[in-house]
Amino acid sequence: MSSSERRLAAIMFSDIVGYTALMAESETRAIAARDRHRGVLGERATAYHGEVVDENGDELVLCFASAVDAVNCALAIQAEGLGEAVELRIGIHLGDVVFEDGRVYGDGVNLASRVRPFAEPGGLCVSEEVAHAIHNQPNVEIESIGAPPLKNVDRPVELYAVTGDALPPAGHASGERKRRARSVAALFAAAGIAACLGLVWWVVPRPTELQEKKTLPLSDRPSIAVLPFANVGNKSEEDYFADGVTEDIIATLGRFSNLVVMAWNAVRPYKATPDVSLEVSRDLNVRYLVDGSIRRSPDRVRVSVQLTEAATGVLLWSDRFDRSIDDIFVVQDEIVQGIVGSLAAEVGALEDQRALAKPTDSLSAYDYFLRGRRHLRGLTRPANLAAREMFEKAIEIDPEFAAAYAGLGWTHNYDAAYGWHTEPDRA
C-alpha cells in the first residue's frame, strides 16, 4: 500500500538551456551534458540537505526542507557550472507538496515548474515565497521581475531574480521572458485594457524602487516566526540546547499545513537581539511572533514562552513550564498546543495529533543529538567528525532514535561530498 505525506518543501526545477538544439547538433554531447547535469546536481543536493526526486530528459526536480538550502545549492551549482558552454536555468518555489512513493506532487510542484522558464540562462529565479524566506541572507541579492501570468496558477505570483557575481543581471530578459511579455501586452490590448493603461511594459524595478518595497505580501495562511529562545543563566556553550528546543518547536509547527512557519535559518539572525517585535515582524513579514527563554539546571528546566500578534503587540498566550529535565519533550508539545490552540480558528485543531511527535524517550540521547546537529552546521572536517561522535553516542543510548541515524548519515555524505574521508571505500 502506498503512503503519502504532505509537508512544506522547497522545490527546484533545473534544465539545460538549448538542450533540444544541442541534441540535434550532437547527440553524444547532449547525453554527456545531461549526465553531468544529473551528477553535479545530485552531489550538490546531498551537500545541501536535498535530493533529486524526479527527472524527465534534461529536466531535474529536487526537493529541500529549507528554501535557504535550496537557494544556496542553486548558487553553488551555477557557480560551478557544467563546462563546455552548457548553461542551466533554475527555478525554486516554497510550497505545500505531497510525497508519495519517492515522488513529489501538488500545486507547489506545478508552481516551481512555472518559475523556472523566467530564469536567465545561467541564472536563478524564485517565487515570492522563497524571496520571503531568503531576503535576510547576507550572500543573496534579489530583484523583482514582476508578476507574470503562470500557466495553471490562478493567483498573481511575484517572481524574483537572484543576482550576484556568478549570475546574470536581472535587467536582461531572456528570449522566453520577452516573448511572454509581448504575449501579455497583446492580451491586454485585445481586451481593451491597454487603451486605459496607455502602454503595458514588463518592468524590472530600479534599485530605488526595490528599496521602497519593504515587505512581500502576507500569505493568506497565518504566518508565524519562533524567535531563538534565550539561554538564561547558562554558559554560551550551552546555547545549543535552547537553539535545539527552538528548532524542534519550529519543525513541529511546520507540520501544520495551514500555518506558514519561518525556518530556523530565517529567525537565527534575531538571536540575542533586543525586543523589537514590530521591526522583526516586518523583516520576516509574519503576523505572529513566539519568543521565550530557557533556564536549565542538571535535573530541572524552566521554559517561559509567549505568543503575540506582531502588528498590535497584543499578548495572545503565554505560559511558564517548570519541569523535570526529562519532560522537555512534553514541554515542547505543550508549547505547540498552546500556540495552535490560540490560533485554532485559523489552524484547525484536527491536525494536532498528526503534527506532534516525540523524537526519543532519552534526554541524554536528545542532548547528544542537539550537539551533533550544531556541529554538523560547521561544515568543516573537525566539526563533521565531532558531529559524528555526538550522533553515535545518541544512537548508543537509544538505538531506535531515527533522527540520530539521519544525522550520522549526513556526516558520511559530507565526507564524500567534500573529500574529507580518509577511507574512500567506506565513504
Predicted confidence (pLDDT) per residue in 161-175, tens digit: 888 766 666 543 343
Dihedral sign from CA coordinates of 244, 245, 246, 251: positive
pLDDT band at 351 (very low <50, low <70, confident <90, very high): very low
- How confident is the model at residue 126, as a pLDDT? 92
- How confident is the model at residue 327, as a pLDDT? 81
Same domain, 124 and 177: yes
- How confident is the model at residue 28, as a pLDDT? 86
Q: What is the pLDDT of residues 317-346, one digit of tens each?
A: 888 888 888 888 788 878 887 787 777 654
Same domain, 393 and 340: no
Same domain, 155 and 120: yes
pLDDT at 378 over 50: yes
CATH number (domain holding residue 297): 3.40.50.10070
44 in Cβ contact with 31 (< 8 Å)? no
68 in Cβ contact with 121 (< 8 Å)? no
Arithmetic mean of pLDDT, 283-309: 85
Separation CA 43–CA 36 (nearest Å): 11
Task: Report helix angle 381-397 to 402-418, nearest 10.
Answer: 160
Q: Which residue, 102, 70, 85, is CA-closest to 2? A: 102
Is residue 98 in some structural domain? yes
Neighbouring CB atoms inside 10 A of 359's CB total: 19
Better-scored residue on pLDDT, 66 or 280: 66
Separation CA 328–CA 367 (nearest Å): 11
pLDDT band at 211 (very low <50, low <70, confident <90, very high): very low
Domain end, chosen from 301, 327, 355, is at 355
The angle at the Cα of 252, spanning 249 to 255, to the nearest 5 degrees, equals 150
- How confident is the model at residue 274, as a pLDDT? 55
- How confident is the model at residue 358, as a pLDDT? 54
DSSP label at 425?
G
- Find where cell 563533521 sits: 384
Domains identified in the chain, total number: 3
**DSSP bridge partners of 59:** 56
Domain that residue 404 falls in: 363-426
Separation CA 304–CA 320 (nearest Å): 4
Is residue 17 in some structural domain? yes
- How confident is the model at residue 206, as a pLDDT? 30
Better-scored residue on pLDDT, 169 or 47: 47
pLDDT band at 272 (very low <50, low <70, confident <90, very high): low
For 64-91, the three-class secondary structure string (H helix, E strand, C coil) is: ECCHHHHHHHHHHHHHHCCCCCCCEEEE
Q: Which residue, 374, 371, 366, is CA-closest to 397? A: 366
- Amino acid residing at 302: R
Q: What are phi and psi of 301, to 5 degrees?
A: -140, 135
Report the percentage of the chain scoring pLDDT > 90: 8
Is residue 217 in some structural domain? no
Arithmetic mean of pLDDT, 117-136: 86
pLDDT band at 23 (very low <50, low <70, confident <90, very high): confident
- Find where cell 519533550 sits: 329
Separation CA 104–CA 403 (nearest Å): 22
Same domain, 263 and 190: no
Neighbouring CB atoms inside 10 A of 217's CB total: 10
- Amino acid residing at 125: C
The angle at the Cα of 70, spanning 64 to 76, to the nearest 5 degrees, equals 135
Same domain, 227 and 119: no
Same domain, 10 and 119: yes
pLDDT at 255 over 80: no
Taking the complete model, does pTM exceed 0.85, yes or no? Answer: no
pLDDT at 424 over 60: no
Separation CA 405–CA 49 (nearest Å): 14
Q: What are phi and psi of 334, to 5 degrees?
A: -65, -35
